[in-house]
């Protein structure tokens, strides 16, 4: 009997703490597959972001089946690929590369990951008017998913107003119409007052960036609140929103569904996201010694 074996990995900068190796390898174990998932950290390898092209060539030569791609290479990698799946082409960003029949194909599972997490975690949520904080890499993927899901008006706010207007313009070119608008700091209260939901796509709330990304007084019980941050799963924003009675969605779903979609692309096997969600929760749970004493 031949056993299928897969060689995969992640290219990016500062990816030592990534949970992707564990998520992919634990899922592969449950399928009885041999799968190795290696981190190819640019900071460790000593190459700049542009060395992603060389890494793609080497990985193909060494027989890798696929690679995930993260900051700062999601756009740079495109010049080194043979083909793009439609979502990756539309967004202009790739987080998954598959090596197949001598060709390299780029996909974007951040978009599909957020969309699945949203549908699973906030079923039936009204999404006519949504406000999104953060117009960086994660924000671009999430905003694309939200317009594809049918949001009528997406207000995009960012500390860097040029980023917010750049993302809104790009979305309107891609989707047609003027469904995306840049929202200034002064316009944020009014925009949130009339919104169905708030999506948070900045690093605020991670251990290195604690706190709230906006004044708590701007939240109201009529909003659902969705996070992209997943370390911790319960950010200060989600805890505050829940206290107010808002429906909430943590960032773990997006992380898991993007990994599950990449796993399917790498192996052709159908992943089990519910089990992967349990893995993620265990992996990000605070160690016992870090918990406050009762």
Query: Among 23-31, 37-45, 128-136, 283-291, which window interacts with ligand NAD (CB under 6 A)?
Result: 128-136
Gap between the Cα atoms of 94 and 89, Å rounded: 8
Give whichever of 108 and 202 is closer to ligand NAD, judged by the CB atom. Answer: 202
* 230 contacts ligand NAD (rule: CB under 6 A): yes
Query: Among 5-13, 44-52, 135-143, 278-286, which window interacts with ligand NAD (CB under 6 A)?
Result: 135-143
SS3 22: helix
Joined together, the tokens standing for residue 191 give 């925009």
Give the residue from 170, 105, 98, 181 showing the smallest Cα distance to 141.
170
Gap between the Cα atoms of 203 and 77, Å rounded: 23
Query: Among 38-46, 81-89, 158-166, 275-283, which window interacts with ligand NAD (CB under 6 A)?
Result: 158-166
The strand order across the sheet containing 5-12 reads 34-41, 5-12, 66-69, 96-100, 103-107, 83-84
Give whichever of 49 and 203 is closer to ligand NAD, judged by the CB atom. Answer: 203
In whole angstroms, the minimum distance from the beta carbon of 20 to ligand NAD comes to: 10
| Contact criterion met (CB below 8 Å) for 163 and 135 | yes
Site for ligand NAD in 247-286 (CB under 6 A): 251, 254-255, 258
| Contact criterion met (CB below 8 Å) for 11 and 24 | no
- The verdict on whether 209 is a catalytic residue reads no
User: ∠ CA(282), CA(288), CA(289), 5° rounding?
Assistant: 140
Query: Among 61-69, 136-144, 173-181, 240-248, which window interacts with ligand NAD (CB under 6 A)?
Result: 136-144
* 163 contacts ligand NAD (rule: CB under 6 A): yes
Gap between the Cα atoms of 38 and 48, Å rounded: 19
Q: Which residue among the candidates 33, 68, 74, 201 is catalytic per the annotation? A: 74
Give whichever of 7 and 253 is closer to ligand NAD, judged by the CB atom. Answer: 253
Gap between the Cα atoms of 262 and 201, Å rounded: 21
Gap between the Cα atoms of 264 and 196, Å rounded: 33
In whole angstroms, the minimum distance from the beta carbon of 103 to ligand NAD comes to: 26
Q: Give the strand pairing for 153-157 and 5-12.
A: unpaired
* 169 contacts ligand NAD (rule: CB under 6 A): no
In this chain, which of 47, 53, 137, 222 binds ligand NAD, going by CB under 6 A?
Answer: 137
* 180 contacts ligand NAD (rule: CB under 6 A): no
Which residues are known catalytic residues?
A: 74
Residue ranges in contact with ligand NAD by CB under 6 A: 71, 110, 113, 133-139, 157-160, 163, 201-204, 206, 213, 228-230, 251, 254-255, 258
């Amino acid at each position: 009997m031949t056993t299928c074996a897969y060689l995969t990995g992640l290219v990016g900068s500062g990816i030592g703490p990534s949970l992707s190796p564990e998520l992919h390898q634990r899922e592969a174990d449950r399928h009885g597959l041999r799968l190795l998932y290696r981190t190819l950290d640019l900071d460790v390898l000593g190459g700049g972001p542009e060395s992603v092209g060389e890494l793609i060539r080497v990985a193909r030569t060494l027989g890798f089946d696929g690679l995930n791609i993260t900051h700062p290479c999601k756009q740079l990698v495109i010049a080194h690929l043979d083909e793009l799946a439609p979502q990756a082409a539309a967004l202009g960003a790739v987080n998954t590369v598959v090596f197949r029949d001598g060709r390299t194909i780029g996909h974007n599972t951040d978009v599909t990951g957020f969309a699945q997490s949203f549908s699973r975690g906030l079923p039936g949520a009204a999404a006519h008017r949504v406000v999104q904080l953060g117009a960086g890499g994660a924000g671009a993927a999430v905003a694309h998913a939200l317009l594809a899901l049918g949001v009528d008006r997406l207000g995009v706010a960012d500390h860097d107003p040029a980023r917010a207007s750049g993302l809104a313009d790009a979305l309107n070119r891609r989707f047609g119409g003027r469904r995306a608008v840049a929202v200034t700091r002064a316009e944020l209260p009014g925009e949130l007052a009339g919104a169905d939901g708030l999506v948070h796509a900045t690093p605020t709330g991670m251990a290195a960036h604690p706190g709230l990304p906006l004044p708590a007084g701007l939240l109201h019980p009529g909003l659902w609140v969705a996070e992209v941050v997943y370390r911790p799963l319960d950010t200060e924003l989600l805890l505050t929103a829940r206290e107010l009675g808002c429906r909430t969605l943590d960032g773990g779903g997006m992380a898991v569904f993007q990994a599950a979609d990449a796993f399917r692309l790498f192996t052709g096997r159908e992943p089990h996201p519910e089990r992967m969600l349990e893995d993620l929760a265990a992996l990000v749970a605070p160690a016992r010694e870090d918990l406050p004493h009762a």
